[in-house]
Chain A
């Protein structure tokens, strides 16, 4: 799962094309216009490389950090069926991180450097994972609606111009579609279950609605980078378009289950064909993404601890005179 790549709107406007060879740049843009894919050894503008690394890296971090809130429910999942499915789901997410770190490595940044930037707080990850999954129902809402949002984002980006990222996303989307089915089945089970289960899932939806609305990122009007990133097919859909698509697909399904979305202004505007909603609190979003959320410190501490505890293992693997051991079993 994944939220949209976050770009700090206060970052200095780019002198994006400074120093680029105009002929190579024109060829590059023509290739993109023709719908060709850019591959790792192809020429690319520095800014293209930088933005892609940032985007893929954030996505990879989101997968491993995202494994934490759901992972805490693996040991508590009710019954064999749910336990097995949740293990497989979270395992998929970690597998996505593996795939994405590899894709980002093709652009010249090592996995170690990326993980280091994550645990030192230099790189971001999707903001939704800075909120706690307080009950089993929270893990179900995440699996359904956050993964649904991720699919919208990733299906769009899989058609982007960078070959390795697009191919990774295509594979990821197939797996995410199972996650969504798993999440939906869970939410249906709770929403049609006992009064206690129903209350549990309603409370989880109420808690998760603001982070879900934040999930696609601030309105693109705020972002400096969007134009060129869209021209280069790094970013394939605007944040607002994706949010609208999400609302269009999932609000009716939520209402069908008799659940209440905690936004009195949420309705389909017949005139515009778009959903009206209360503007999400973007100050809260910025506060959380910059470290002030309920779980930021905990998530990074867990990750840092795992890195530190695993260091001796990685060192042993990198030992010069230790050769590959052919398994004999």
Chain B
């Protein structure tokens, strides 16, 4: 097994989930309807839990304890895509990001169920089942709001336009794509992106929204390699604020 390649793969998935979960949790108490506070909190709990499970695999591969890894790293040591670290903005952006991100993540874990790296395949089975409901939630709302009022349609289209290149950045290839493929660990980012396009397109059409013109596509890359927006450092400082007071203490 190519441990370095596996670690790279695990870190980017775990960091995406950790940061996306953190952002989802920020909706607690602030949703447009109470039911959505609750929904985003449920998804946040799933994602943070899933991140924890992946950090646990990393720990078994020799990395630090999950708490230390998650709560002590600075932004430039993190491998999440820039898409997940952007602030929540309003509900339109949060919902479109949720839709684009969760479709990708669900497909990623579906693919990983067949991974030759057994600990990941095991975890993927469980995670895939949870993400089904996240996708279910996103599809319902995107179609609803895309077909709602003039304002909701316009907002959803604008959010989709603004999210698109960030979303493409989720599929930034790593240094070990070939190794992961040849060892049947993961089919790779390109294969995932193709499936993702096929999966989201019918819902975007059903929502009467339009995928931005292909001539404007320019994936925003760098996140996987530790280059981030200014928002991530703020986020990790906030997330680690208490833990960092005394990392050796029991909290």
Q: Do A and B bind each other?
A: yes
Q: Is B169 an interface residue (CB 8 A)?
A: no
A98 engages B29 (CB within 8 Å): no
B251 engages A315 (CB within 8 Å): no
Question: When each residue 297-329 of chain A gets 1 if its CB lies under 8 Å from chain B and 0 otherwise, what string results?
Answer: 000001001100111111111010010010111
A64 engages B34 (CB within 8 Å): yes
Which residues of chain B are within 8 angstroms of A64 by Cβ–Cβ distance? 29, 34
Which residues of chain B are within 8 angstroms of A71 by Cβ–Cβ distance? 28-29
A172 shortest CB reach to chain B, Å? 14
Question: When each residue 125-143 of chain B gets 1 if its CB lies under 8 Å from chain A and 0 otherwise, what string results?
Answer: 0000000100111011001
B29 engages A67 (CB within 8 Å): yes
B70 engages A80 (CB within 8 Å): yes
Which residue from A79, A82, A87, A136 sits with its C-beta under 8 Å from B44? A87
A82 engages B251 (CB within 8 Å): yes
Q: How far is the CA of A98 from the CA of B33 in the complex (A)?
A: 10
Given A83-B48, A309-B32, A319-B148, CB of A77 within 8 Å of CB of B242: yes
Which residue from A193, A310, A322, A329 sits with its C-beta under 8 Å from B144? A322
Q: Majority SS of interface residues in chain A?
A: helix
Which residues of chain B are within 8 angstroms of A325 by Cβ–Cβ distance? 140, 143-144, 147
A315 engages B148 (CB within 8 Å): yes
Q: How far is the CA of A55 from the CA of B223 in the complex (A)?
A: 50
Which residue from A94, A194, A305, A317 sits with its C-beta under 8 Å from B246? A194
Q: How far is the CA of A90 from the CA of B26 in the complex (A)?
A: 11
B151 engages A94 (CB within 8 Å): no
Contacting residues of chain A (64-118) with chain B, CB-CB under 8 angstroms: 64, 67-68, 71, 73-80, 82-84, 87-88, 90-91, 94-95, 97-98, 101
Please give me the 3 A-B residue pairs with the lowest Cβ-Cβ distance, nearest first: A310-B32, A316-B148, A316-B152
* Interchain residue pairs with CB less than 8 A apart (6): A76-B239, A91-B42, A189-B251, A194-B249, A196-B245, A313-B33
Besides A77-B242, A314-B32, A325-B147, 15 more A-B contacts (Cβ < 8 Å) are A67-B29, A73-B242, A80-B66, A91-B28, A94-B34, A98-B38, A189-B251, A196-B245, A311-B32, A312-B152, A313-B91, A313-B152, A315-B151, A317-B144, A329-B139
B-side interface residues toward A, CB under 8 Å? Answer: 22, 25-26, 28-38, 41-42, 44-45, 48-49, 51-52, 66-67, 70-71, 90-91, 132, 135-137, 139-140, 143-145, 147-149, 151-152, 155, 202-203, 206, 238-239, 241-243, 245-246, 249-251
